[in-house]
Amino acid sequence: MRIAFSFHSMCNCNQWLRLITVWIASTFCLVRLGKEAAHSIKIRLSDKTANAYTAVIGVSNSTELSEAIYDAKGGEVILLATGEYGVLTFSNLNMSTEVTIMAALNASPEFSSVQVTNSSWWHFSGLYIKPQFTSGADTNNAVRLIGSDMTFENSVVNYSDDTSG
């Protein structure tokens, strides 16, 4: 099932419309479809005066997240459902406008690390980073962003898990 919404504005208020659209998408993913079907939501937001478009894409696993990242053109908001996503790593993805990867409403997406290199215009928000303490684990680079115009905010990096086995 795919559900699509379109919002149009007669004023140049793309940031405001983007926030409303993210809230609607996030709420709809949580209430109507639930965690398992969050990936079926796609919303396209347009601001007629600026010809700006924002796609809001809900994902629920690492495969869908990878597809959304590599399909991004700039301006997308990728909403993450609760779940374990493993290592998020990509490089050489330079956007002309910001792409946001963020937790959906009341979601707790968990990563073992985030590694982004030689990329630009990526924004991460609401993530839970929980590095794995196994043989050869890198405890110094839970989040590594190398590039320009990247933001990492409203997230938790937790190195204090019980490792007693």
User: Looking at 10-51, which runs of residues are DSSP E strands?
Assistant: 41-47
Q: Give me the residue spans of the domains in the chain.
A: 3-157
84: left (phi over 0), alpha (psi -120 to 50) or beta: beta
Q: What is the full per-residue pLDDT of the chain (165 aa) written as tens digits? A: 334 444 444 444 455 555 555 555 555 554 433 444 444 445 555 444 444 556 888 899 999 999 999 999 998 889 999 999 999 999 999 999 999 999 998 899 999 999 999 999 999 999 999 887 655 555 677 899 999 999 999 999 887 655 555
The pair of structure tokens assigned to 121 is: 């215009």
Please give the pLDDT value at position 9.
Answer: 45
The β-bridge partners of 47 are 9, 52
Is beta strand 128-129 parallel, antiparallel or unpaired with respect to 109-125?
parallel
